Amino acid sequence: MIMLINGQSKLNGHIEVSTSKNAVLPILAASLLSDEPKIINNIPLIDDVDIIVQLIRELGIKVSYHNKSLKLIGNAHKVDPPYELVRKIRASFLIMGPLLARHGIVRISFPGGCAIGNRPIDLHLKGLEVLGAQIKQTGGDIIAKGKLNGSHVYLDFPSVGATENLIMAASLAKGVTYIENAALEPEIVDLADFINSMGGKITGAGTNIIKIEGVEKLTGSTYTPIPDRIEAGTFMVAAAASRGEVTITNVIPEHLKAISAKLIESGAEVTEKADQINVRGPNKIKPVYIKTLPYPGFPTDMQAQFMAYLSCAEGSSIITESVFENRFMHVPELCRLGANIKIEGRTAIIKGVNKLDGAIVKATDLRAGAALCIAALMARGETTITESEHIDRGYERIVDKLNTLGVDIRQI
Ligand code: EPZ
Task: Give per-residue pLDDT as tens, 24-78.
Answer: 999 999 999 999 999 999 999 999 999 999 999 999 999 999 999 999 999 999 9
For residue 112, pLDDT over 70 is answered with no
Q: Is the CB of 10 under 6 A from ligand 1?
A: no
Q: Could you tell me the distance, in angstroms and rounded to a whole number, from the CA of residue 124 to the centre of ligand 1?
A: 11
Q: Whose CA is nearest to atom 5 of ligand 1?
A: 301
Q: Could you tell me the distance, in angstroms and rounded to a whole number, from the CA of residue 158 to the centre of ligand 1?
A: 9
Q: Could you tell me the distance, in angstroms and rounded to a whole number, from the CA of residue 161 to the centre of ligand 1?
A: 6
Q: Is the CB of 120 under 6 A from ligand 1?
A: yes
Work out which ligand 1 atom sits closest to the CA atom of 119.
Answer: 27
Q: Could you tell me the distance, in angstroms and rounded to a whole number, from the CA of residue 7 to the centre of ligand 1?
A: 32
Q: Could you tell me the distance, in angstroms and rounded to a whole number, from the CA of residue 115 to the centre of ligand 1?
A: 13
For residue 118, pLDDT over 90 is answered with no
Pocket test for ligand 1, best of 19, 157, 166, 300 (most atoms within 8 A of CB): 157
Q: Whose CA is nearest to atom 21 of ligand 1?
A: 301
Which of 278, 289, 277, 343 shows the shortest CA–CA distance to 313? 289
Query: Residues with catalytic annotation?
Result: 114
Please give the domain boundaries of the chain with CATH numbers for all domains. 2-18+227-411 (3.65.10.10), 21-223 (3.65.10.10)
Q: Is the CB of 367 under 6 A from ligand 1?
A: yes
Q: Could you tell me the distance, in angstroms and rounded to a whole number, from the CA of residue 160 to the centre of ligand 1?
A: 6
Q: Is the CB of 160 under 6 A from ligand 1?
A: yes
For residue 139, pLDDT over 90 is answered with no
Instruction: Return mean pLDDT, the chain.
Output: 96
- For 23, 96, 155, 385, the CA distances from 128, given in Å and listed in that order, are 21, 9, 11, 41
- pLDDT computed for residue 140 by the predictor: 87
Work out which ligand 1 atom sits closest to the CA atom of 123.
Answer: 40
Q: Is the CB of 119 under 6 A from ligand 1?
A: yes
C-alpha dihedral sign at 128, 130, 131, 132: positive
Q: Is the CB of 90 under 6 A from ligand 1?
A: yes
Q: Whose CA is nearest to atom 32 of ligand 1?
A: 160
Q: Is the CB of 74 under 6 A from ligand 1?
A: no
- Cα separation, 78 vs 99, whole angstroms: 9
pLDDT average, residue stretch 200-217: 98
> Structure pTM?
0.97
Q: Whose CA is nearest to atom 15 of ligand 1?
A: 22
- Cα separation, 368 vs 380, whole angstroms: 20
Q: Is the CB of 9 under 6 A from ligand 1?
A: no
pLDDT average, residue stretch 225-239: 98
Q: Could you tell me the distance, in angstroms and rounded to a whole number, from the CA of residue 380 to the centre of ligand 1?
A: 35
- For 70, 183, 299, the CA distances from 293, given in Å and listed in that order, are 33, 11, 6
Question: pLDDT tens digits, residue range 316-372?
Answer: 999 999 999 889 999 999 999 999 999 999 999 999 999 999 999 999 999 999 999
Q: Is the CB of 71 under 6 A from ligand 1?
A: no
For residue 115, pLDDT over 70 is answered with no
Q: Whose CA is nearest to atom 22 of ligand 1?
A: 301
Q: Whose CA is nearest to atom 1 of ligand 1?
A: 160
For residue 110, pLDDT over 90 is answered with no
Q: Is the CB of 225 under 6 A from ligand 1?
A: no
